Structure 1
Amino acid sequence: MTTIQPARPCLTSNDAAVLQALFDAESSPSSGITVDPLLPSWPTKVNVSCTDLETLKRRETDIVRKLQTNETPSRENVQSALDELDSLVSSYPTYPSAYTNRAQALRILVDIQYNERLQNTPNNPYGFEINADDALFAPEAASLSSQIFADLGQAISLATPDSPADPLSSVQARLLSDAHTHRGYLLLKAARVTKDQSGQENVGGPESLRGLSADRLEEMASHDFFLGGRYGNKVAQQLAVQTNPYAKMCGAIVKEAMRKEVQG
């Protein structure tokens, strides 16, 4: 009788480390940063004094409260919040948090426009299948979607440390975590809309994303999810793994090998 010996692992330590990084969401994302709770909230390039910072926090809290209701806020409340955020950004153009809050308010405005249009023209006024999550990529939302991506990009630019080795404050890490995750989610939506509406001329979205393939958009989303996870967002860590093109490629290879083995 032939004795079957168990196969020895054929992966080198380097191969094992690569696979661990690809498939284990906890393997590396948050290990490369240092959060120091004793640091000032924002780096020096934000250029906001401690006195002004306290005033800004109070103003932001008052603005955000207009949007935090049990029901969808009215268009008037959203527009009022946006006007105040515009004023805040104009007065303090290097304050990152104002940009992320404005991006959130603009998302709410897009949802309101979507619902209003459906109520006025219930027989699919968009010309192609679309739901509330995709409304950001309808043609008439192009200006708002461009502003949302611009605001998230500006917030990330202002809050990101000059060197990856520089420590971050807790406030700084939280904003970067949220902003990267938010942008990654929108890029993933853009990838799905691009894939679903391939060949449609009336698909909108930011000008900077038009012409990009669904695969490229998903790669960009994966990168943002990785950074969101690196700064501490657990959901982003999981999404980074799911959208990682190398992990998906390896998964497809394993799936195909298993299919052939079952058929054999």
Structure 2
Amino acid sequence: MASEHDRAVLQAIFHPGSPLGDTGPALNSEEELTDDDRGFDATRLTEVKALEAQGVKSAEEGDLQAALHHFSGAILILPERPSAYNNRAQALRLQGDTAGALADLDRAISLSGGVGRTACQALVQRGLLLRLAQRDEDARGDFEKAAALGSEFARQQAVALNPYAALCNRMLTEVINKLRHPEVSQT
């Protein structure tokens, strides 16, 4: 079984677009291998994974058009597999197509049933896009769902967006500051 540090390193290598230090859902090694892959024809799945890998490589090289082409090709072969939608959403976001990215993230979340690694990543991505659009309540909902799937980054974001937690943190900070720097009484 891999350590948390090992999982973080592997996550950074295989999913360079995810937030640093976020290892995603806590799955055992058998689940990690089959998260999005259950029930698909092995030959088509191999072809789709190769296209997605080419898409990731193209995106890393800055060729977003080629990346989009590869991800769209993967979607044409297995349109019911959520991973390519999630990956294409990242490329669309990098291109500035927020609406297209959100549509693909919605599709990835729907196809995944809201569970597994792809759902977790898609929820985090959608939460970040919603937060940028100042839709904090919707973003918090996505972060809470992703946190329930094991994303530490999403948990931190959900806490930061919780108005009650923010109020409590502000009050606690004031109390601690008063204890550290008591005012001298003017009597």
Please report the TM-score for the alignment, with normalisation by the length of structure 1.
0.51
The answer to which structure, 1 or 2, has the higher relative contact order (CA under 8 A, 6+ apart) is 1
* Alpha-carbon offset, residue 253 of structure 1: 5.7
Query: Residues 56 and 230 of structure 1: is their aligned pair in 2 closer, same or farther, counting only changes over 3 Å?
Result: same
- Contact 1:222–1:244 (Cα < 8 Å) also in 2: yes
1:106 aligns with 2:92: yes
Query: How many angstroms apart in 2 are the aligned matches of 1:91 and 1:43?
Result: 13
Of residues 25, 36, 41 in structure 2, which corresponds to 1:42? 36
Please report the TM-score for the alignment, with normalisation by the length of structure 2.
0.69
- Contact 2:54–2:67 (Cα < 8 Å) also in 1: no
Aligned to 2:144: 226
Query: Counterpart of 2:52 in structure 1: which amino acid?
Result: E
* Alpha-carbon offset, residue 64 of structure 1: 1.4
Number of residue equivalences: 156
Aligned to 2:98: 145
CA RMSD of aligned residues (A): 2.9
TM alignment of 1:35-74, pairs within 5 A? 35=27, 37-39=29-31, 40-42=34-36, 48-69=40-61, 73=62
**Structure 1: stretches of 5+ with no match in the other structure:** 1-32, 111-143, 162-171, 192-216
Aligned to 1:84: 70
- Contact 1:219–1:245 (Cα < 8 Å) also in 2: no
| Deviations 1:46-88, CA, capped at 9 Å, x for gaps | x52233212211121112111113xxx1xxx311221232232
Aligned to 2:112: 159
Aligned to 2:83: 97
Query: Counterpart of 1:226 in structure 2: which amino acid?
Result: E
Query: Counterpart of 1:240 in structure 2: which amino acid?
Result: A
Calculate percent identity across the aligned residue pairs.
Answer: 32
Query: Residues 225 and 97 of structure 1: is their aligned pair in 2 closer, same or farther, counting only changes over 3 Å?
Result: same
1:173 aligns with 2:116: yes
Query: How many angstroms apart in 2 are the aligned matches of 1:61 and 1:189?
Result: 28
> Which one has the largest radius of gyration?
1
Query: Residues 50 and 226 of structure 1: is their aligned pair in 2 closer, same or farther, counting only changes over 3 Å?
Result: same
**Structure 2: stretches of 5+ with no match in the other structure:** 1-24
- Structure richer in helix, relative to its length: 2
